[in-house]
Amino acid sequence: MVILEHELLTAARTAGLMRAEASRLLRNTAARAARGGMSQRRIAQAMGRSQPEIHRLVTASELRDAHGEKRRWMTARSSAEATREALVAGDESRAMRMLIQGIEHLRGLGEPEDIAEWSVEPRQIPDARFDALLRVLAARALRVMGEAVPEWATDVRALSEPWVIPQTTSQRARALEETPSELAELGIYATEADLSTL
């Protein structure tokens, strides 16, 4: 009887992992198609699904964590959405806090299924500065964690004008000297300390 229970538990866990992977695959495919210019209507036709479902696939994150509990941490999608909302409200300071909070949540994840939720492509943030920053910081965090970096996090273009994030003159000068190379290559200037205290 114990063997059968173990078999049932293993089968349920495997099915859950397969469902989560299939969900990520669908969401990433729909997001890439939308980023490539396809309308949600056309994506729905191509995938044989309803347009409302495609909207959910392009915008939503999983509501539950790896243990089936309500998710209490930000995903790339929820971080991008919170950042976007703050920018629409004209609050760049809050936008930065939401973006950094999302990255901190990523760094705090331990379950592979939860970390994998960060592989799902977020909608593009309309402000190129914040969009590039989310992508590069997510890629950096995942590399440090020893995780695979998803395609969306590596598809980053350098900014057309430099963005020095700190506000005071002394902090700005230090940022120009101490910015990590992967940020500087994109025209984003902030020290590690700046990024943790914004």
Phi-psi label, residue 74: left if phi above 0, alpha if psi -120 to 50, beta otherwise: beta
Total Cβ atoms within 10 A of residue 156: 20
Domain residue spans in the chain? 1-60, 64-155, 158-198
- Report the pLDDT value the prediction gives residue 64, as an integer from 0 to 100: 66
- Which distant-in-sequence residues (6+ apart) come within 8 Å of 71 by Cβ? 61, 62, 63, 64, 65, 117
Tens of pLDDT, residue by residue over 126-177, are 999 999 999 999 999 999 999 999 999 999 999 999 999 987 888 888 888 9
Amino acid 87: pLDDT: 98
Alpha carbon of residue 185 to chain centroid:
20
Residues of the chain with pLDDT under 70: 1-2, 60-68, 197-198
**How confident is the model at residue 98, as a pLDDT?**
95
The DSSP 8-state label assigned to residue 109 in this structure reads -
Q: What is the model's pLDDT at position 197?
A: 65
Judge whether 122 and 94 are in contact, CB under 8 Å. no
